[in-house]
A and B are shown apart, each in its own frame.
Chain A
C-alpha cells in the first residue's frame, strides 16, 4: 500500500496547477513573475518539485496515472510561465517603441554634373569597344583646328566672327579656342601609328548667342578609329552599339548625307528615340587628305570618325529644356542628377 492516495494526489496537483497559472497570469512585472516562478517552478524547492516527490508514495498500480497527472500539470505550468514571459516582454517592447515613420538622420550626398555623367557614360560604352579617352589643349593653332582637318584658308569656318581668336603679336600664327575636339584626334594621329581607337572629349567654343539650345561653350565627344579595311558598315555598327547601350534596347541608326571638310563620305546620324528619329551628330570616313596630313598612308589604312554634342544628348536624356541651365550651377538643379 502506498502512503498517498491517488485521489489526494490528483487534488493536490490540480490545485497547484490552478494556483500557478493564476499567479503567472497575475504577475505585473518581471520581478513578480520571477517570484512566482521560484515558488512554483523553482528547480530546488519549487512546489512542483515538492509534489513530484509525492509520486513515490503512490501505490505501485497508481503510479502511471499519477505520473501522467503530474506531467500534464507540469506542461500546463511551463506553458503559463512562457505565456507570462511573452506578455511582459511585449509590454516592455511597447514601452520602448519608437515611431518608425520618423525621418532618418539626413546626410548630404554630392553630385557629379549631368554633363560629366553623360560624358562618362559615353566613355564607358566606347571603352567596351576599345576606344581610349584622350584629351588635348583647348587653345589651338591654325594647323590643328583647321588645316590638318582640310579646312582651307578660304573656308568660311575660319572667319574671325565664327571663332574665338586670341590677340597675338602682329604676324604670329593666330591661336584660337578650339571649335571642335577633332584637334585632339589630329594630335594623337601625329604621335601614334595605327591601329587607333580613341574618343576625344572636352570643351569647345563657337560664337553663338546663348539661348535655350545654344551656348558659346559646350562639350563634344568624338570617336576615331583608324585600321586597315575600316568601312562605313563598321561605323554604323559602332554607332548602333553606342545608341543601344546609351538608350537601352535595340536602337537603330540612320545615316543622312552631309558635309564636313575632314570626312568623306560625310553623314549625319540619327537614332530612333521615343518612336522618332533624333539627330545625334555628324560622322564619316576620315578624309584621305586628313590621313595624309598626319603621315598615314590612305592606301594602307582607312578610318571613321563621329562626333556628338554632349549638351544636346544630356538635355534630351534628362528633360532639360534650356541648356543654359547646365551652366547656372544652381544646386537645386545639380542635386537632381
Chain B
C-alpha cells in the first residue's frame, strides 16, 4: 500500500519528520518498504498484513497515525446534493446468488461532463502509482484508496435493460474486460450482468463495453461487498489481479459500502457536474455484525509480562475506534468497529494495546530457568552416521526431496509402488516424491566432476517418501524412512567399508547378501540385512558398484560405488553409553593360514567357519583377508587360495605356542568341515 503524505495530512497532522512517521508505523505493525519523492509529495510504501484490510486506504492509516501521535482524526462527511428523482427510477438491482454478494448498492449521476481530473487529484493518484484516466474513473480510484472500498462506475447508457443482476458466472461464459482482453469464466466466479450479459467481473474488473468514455453522460456507481473466495477464484483463475480484487480478498469494512458510495457521488458531482439521483438502489444488506469483547485489565500484563494501566488501555482502544459499552474498571466490555473484523477475542484486544503501547516496553532480561534435556535416539543416530562419514573425508550434501520422472524411473530399494506426485512441480519437471536419495547424489557427484571439483564423494541424510498402499489403515498414507546415502569414487569395497563403518558405530549386526538393483552393475551389488532379536531379519541397506549406463547418464567415470542405509531401522537403541571392554594386558600371537577353497565360496562362509571353531570366541581378536589368488596349475581348476591373517589374544593369560597350535588346528578343521577348505602345504 502506497501512501501519499500530502493526502494523509488531510485527515491527521503528526508534527514529525517523515522518518519518525515511518518508524512509528513500522513499530506498530505497518512495515516500511520504501520512501520516495513524487514532485512535492512524498510516497511511503508500507506492507499491510492480510488481517488489516482497514489499512488498505489512507483513512485507516490516518487512524493509526492519530493514535500513535495522539492527534485528532478528521474524516469527511460527504453529502451529495440529491435531485428529487430516486435512483430506482433509472436502475433496478437484483442479487441472484447472495453467497457471492451479500450487499450491493447503485447510485446514478446524470449529465456528467467527462474530462481530465484537476491537478490535486491527478497528482495524488500519481504519487501512489495510479495513472489518471478521467474525472469519473479517477474518483472511484481515489475513494478506494481513501477508505479501502473498491468502486466501479458504469456508463449507464451501456447497461442494457436498466437492470443489474449479480450472479455466479456460467461455465464457459465469455467476458471482455476493460483491458480489452477476453476471458472465459467459470461458476466459481461472479459477474455483474445487465439484462443481456456480463458487464463486470465482480470485484475484479469492469467490462470494456460499459466503461466510462468521453461521451458518457449518465453514470451508474457501484459500491458493493463480494465474497473473498469468489473474488480470489476469479483473480487467480484468470491471472487478473487488481487493486480491487486485492482488497475484496481481504474483506473491506462492510460499513464503507454506503460511505464510499456517498463520497464518490459527491466528488463526481463536484468534479464532473451532473445531478445525483436520490438515494441508492440496494440489494442485500450490510453484512457482518460487530464483535462484543470482554477485556480483563489484568490480562494485558499476564500476556505481555509488563503492566499497562487500565486508563491507557481504554485510551488506546478508544482511539482505534473501539467503543466501551458501560463504565467499568477491572473488566470492560468493548464493541469492535466495523472495519476491524479481525478483532473478536480478548487476546486480540491485548494485541491492539501491545502494538500501540510498543513492544520496546517488554523487558528483554527476564531470567529463564534451565531444564535438563536429552537428544533423541533418532537425533543421535543422525549425528553418529554423519560423524563416521565426515571422519572418512566425505562432504554432506543436500538435494531436493522432489525429483524428475527420470530419477524415479529407477527402482527403489524400499518399495515396489510408484512414487507419489505433487503439484505444482518443485522446480521444472520435478514433481515426484523420491523413494531413494541415490539418483540425486549421483547427479551432485556428476556436477562436481563437470566443474572439476577436487572430488565428488558425498553423503546425505534425508527421507524417502513411500506409499503405504493398502496397508495405510490408521497410519499416515506415506511412510518417511530416514536414509543415509553415499556415493564415493572407488570399487564396491569402498562404499561397503563406509556402510560397515556407519552400521558398526550404530551397533548393528548385519549380513551382506548378493542383490540386484537398477543402479548397480549386475553381480556387484548387495542387500544389507539386519538380524533382529525375536524378529525376522530386515533389509536395512543396499550397496554396490554403479553401473556403466548410470555413470554415463550422470557424466561420471567409474569405478564409483554407492550405498543407502535405513537409519530409522538402524537407530541406536537405549540412551546408555557403551561400556568399556578392557584391552588384554597379554601379548598377541599372529598366525597366517593359507586355505584353498572352491572358487565360488563366499568369504562370509570362511569367516563364519573360523569364528565358529572351538576356542575362537575367547581368543580370536582379529581376522584379515591378506590375499586371494587363483592358479589352475598350482591350486587346481575351480579353486582359489585365501591367505588369512589371524590374531589371537586372551584376557586370561599369554597364549602359549601349544595353545596357538591347537587353535589353528581347530580352525583348519572347522573350515574343512564347513567349507571344504584344505590347508595349502599342510
B231-260: CB near A (< 8 Å → 1, else 0) gives 010001000000000000100000000000
A320 → chain B closest CB, angstroms: 13
Interchain CB contact under 8 A, B351 and A257: yes
Q: How far is the CA of A331 from the CA of B458 in the complex (A)?
A: 8
Contact of A137 among B305, B364, B478 (CB under 8 A): B478
Interface residue ranges of B571-628 to A (CB < 8 Å): none
Known contacts A135-B378, A175-B478, A177-B422; is-contact A232 B354 (Cβ 8 Å): yes
A150-181: CB near B (< 8 Å → 1, else 0) gives 00001010011100111100000001110000
The answer to whether A109 has its CB under 8 Å from any CB of chain B is yes
A269 → chain B closest CB, angstroms: 9
Closest A-chain residue to B465, C-beta based? Answer: A139
Contact of A210 among B359, B427, B480 (CB under 8 A): B427
Q: How far is the CA of A166 from the CA of B419 in the complex (A)?
A: 11
Interchain CB contact under 8 A, B304 and A137: no
Q: How far is the CA of A231 from the CA of B304 in the complex (A)?
A: 5
Known contacts A217-B426, A255-B359, A334-B397; is-contact A166 B455 (Cβ 8 Å): no
Q: How far is the CA of A268 from the CA of B427 in the complex (A)?
A: 29
| Total number of B residues with any Cβ neighbor in A under 8 Å | 84
Interchain CB contact under 8 A, A241 and B368: yes
Q: How far is the CA of A137 from the CA of B420 in the complex (A)?
A: 15
Interface residue ranges of B441-495 to A (CB < 8 Å): 444, 447-448, 451, 453-458, 462-463, 465, 476-478, 480
B514 → chain A closest CB, angstroms: 30
A173 → chain B closest CB, angstroms: 10
Interchain CB contact under 8 A, A259 and B51: yes
Interchain CB contact under 8 A, B423 and A165: yes
B411 → chain A closest CB, angstroms: 21
Q: Please choose the segment from B26-34, B209-217, B308-316 that sits at the chain A interface, where 4 or more of its residues have CB less than 8 A away.
A: B26-34
B27 → chain A closest CB, angstroms: 6
Interchain CB contact under 8 A, A164 and B423: yes
Contact of B422 among A131, A141, A164, A241 (CB under 8 A): A164
Q: Which has the most chain A C-beta neighbours within 10 Å: B305, B350, B378?
A: B305
- List chain A residues, Cβ under 8 A from B457: 331
- List chain A residues, Cβ under 8 A from B393: 107-110
The answer to whether A295 has its CB under 8 Å from any CB of chain B is no
Q: How far is the CA of A335 from the CA of B463 in the complex (A)?
A: 24
Interchain CB contact under 8 A, B367 and A237: yes
The answer to whether A224 has its CB under 8 Å from any CB of chain B is no
- List chain B residues, Cβ under 8 A from A268: 31
B233 → chain A closest CB, angstroms: 10
Q: How far is the CA of A334 from the CA of B477 in the complex (A)?
A: 35
The answer to whether B174 has its CB under 8 Å from any CB of chain A is no
Interchain CB contact under 8 A, A130 and B359: no
Q: How far is the CA of A239 from the CA of B394 in the complex (A)?
A: 34
Q: How far is the CA of A124 from the CA of B438 in the complex (A)?
A: 30
The answer to whether A264 has its CB under 8 Å from any CB of chain B is yes
B678 → chain A closest CB, angstroms: 42
- List chain B residues, Cβ under 8 A from A221: none
- List chain B residues, Cβ under 8 A from A134: 376
Known contacts A156-B249, A164-B423; is-contact A252 B49 (Cβ 8 Å): no
- List chain A residues, Cβ under 8 A from B26: 256
Interchain CB contact under 8 A, B398 and A113: yes
A231 → chain B closest CB, angstroms: 3
Q: Please choose the segment from A21-29, A48-56, A73-81, A321-329 that sits at the chain B interface, where 4 or more of its residues have CB less than 8 A away.
A: A321-329
Contact of B444 among A127, A207, A253, A329 (CB under 8 A): A329
The answer to whether B406 has its CB under 8 Å from any CB of chain A is no
B379 → chain A closest CB, angstroms: 6
Interchain CB contact under 8 A, A329 and B390: no
The answer to whether B363 has its CB under 8 Å from any CB of chain A is yes
B104 → chain A closest CB, angstroms: 21
Interchain CB contact under 8 A, B354 and A265: yes
Q: How far is the CA of A49 from the CA of B561 in the complex (A)?
A: 76
Interchain CB contact under 8 A, A253 and B396: no
- List chain B residues, Cβ under 8 A from A329: 395, 397-399, 444, 447-448, 458
A305-334: CB near B (< 8 Å → 1, else 0) gives 000000000000000000000111111101
The answer to whether B639 has its CB under 8 Å from any CB of chain A is no
Interchain CB contact under 8 A, A159 and B448: no
Contact of A112 among B49, B379, B390 (CB under 8 A): B390
Interchain CB contact under 8 A, B359 and A267: yes
Q: Which has the most chain B C-beta neighbours within 10 Å: A160, A237, A252?
A: A237
A116 → chain B closest CB, angstroms: 6
Known contacts A116-B396, A237-B365, A267-B359; is-contact A331 B402 (Cβ 8 Å): no
The answer to whether A10 has its CB under 8 Å from any CB of chain B is no
Known contacts A127-B373, A233-B306; is-contact A167 B421 (Cβ 8 Å): yes
B603 → chain A closest CB, angstroms: 28
Closest A-chain residue to B304, C-beta based? Answer: A232
- List chain A residues, Cβ under 8 A from B524: none
- List chain A residues, Cβ under 8 A from B422: 164-167, 176-177
A94-117: CB near B (< 8 Å → 1, else 0) gives 000000000000011111110110
* Chain A interface residue bracket vs B: 35 or more
The answer to whether A216 has its CB under 8 Å from any CB of chain B is yes
The answer to whether B330 has its CB under 8 Å from any CB of chain A is no
Closest B-chain residue to A153, C-beta based? Answer: B229
Interchain CB contact under 8 A, A330 and B427: no
Interchain CB contact under 8 A, A231 and B228: no
Interchain CB contact under 8 A, B398 and A326: yes
The answer to whether B371 has its CB under 8 Å from any CB of chain A is yes
Interchain CB contact under 8 A, B49 and A258: yes
Interface residue ranges of A186-219 to B (CB < 8 Å): 197, 203, 205, 207, 210, 216-217
Interchain CB contact under 8 A, A112 and B396: yes
Interchain CB contact under 8 A, B454 and A331: yes
Interchain CB contact under 8 A, A330 and B398: no
A119-154: CB near B (< 8 Å → 1, else 0) gives 000000001111111110111010000000000001
Q: Which has the most chain B C-beta neighbours within 10 Å: A115, A176, A287, A332?
A: A332
B623 → chain A closest CB, angstroms: 27
Interface residue ranges of B218-233 to A (CB < 8 Å): 228-229, 232
Closest B-chain residue to A169, C-beta based? Answer: B477
Interchain CB contact under 8 A, B401 and A203: yes
The answer to whether A278 has its CB under 8 Å from any CB of chain B is no
Known contacts A231-B303, A258-B29; is-contact A237 B391 (Cβ 8 Å): no
Known contacts A137-B476, A156-B232; is-contact A332 B379 (Cβ 8 Å): no
Closest B-chain residue to A239, C-beta based? Answer: B364
B113 → chain A closest CB, angstroms: 41
B399 → chain A closest CB, angstroms: 7
Closest A-chain residue to B476, C-beta based? Answer: A137
The answer to whether A234 has its CB under 8 Å from any CB of chain B is yes
Q: How far is the CA of A232 from the CA of B299 in the complex (A)?
A: 12
B378-415: CB near A (< 8 Å → 1, else 0) gives 11000000100111111111111110000000000000
The answer to whether A63 has its CB under 8 Å from any CB of chain B is no
Interchain CB contact under 8 A, A131 and B453: no
B501-527: CB near A (< 8 Å → 1, else 0) gives 000000000000000000000000000
B33 → chain A closest CB, angstroms: 13
Known contacts A166-B421, A257-B29; is-contact A138 B401 (Cβ 8 Å): yes
The answer to whether B536 has its CB under 8 Å from any CB of chain A is no
Q: How far is the CA of A216 from the CA of B354 in the complex (A)?
A: 34
Contact of B373 among A130, A135, A334 (CB under 8 A): A130
Not counting A129-B368, A229-B302, a sample of 12 additional A-B residue pairs whose C-beta atoms are within 8 angstroms of each other reads A129-B370, A129-B371, A165-B423, A166-B422, A205-B401, A205-B426, A231-B302, A231-B366, A253-B364, A259-B29, A329-B458, A331-B456
A-B contact pairs, 10 of them (CB 8 A): A112-B390, A116-B398, A164-B424, A197-B371, A237-B365, A256-B27, A265-B355, A327-B400, A329-B398, A332-B454
The 8 closest A-B pairs by CB, nearest first: A130-B371, A233-B305, A231-B305, A110-B390, A108-B393, A257-B29, A255-B359, A259-B49
Residues of B at the A interface (CB closer than 8 Å) are 26-29, 31, 49-52, 228-229, 232, 236, 249, 302-306, 345, 347-348, 350-351, 354-355, 359-360, 362-368, 370-376, 378-379, 386, 389-402, 420-424, 426-427, 433, 444, 447-448, 451, 453-458, 462-463, 465, 476-478, 480
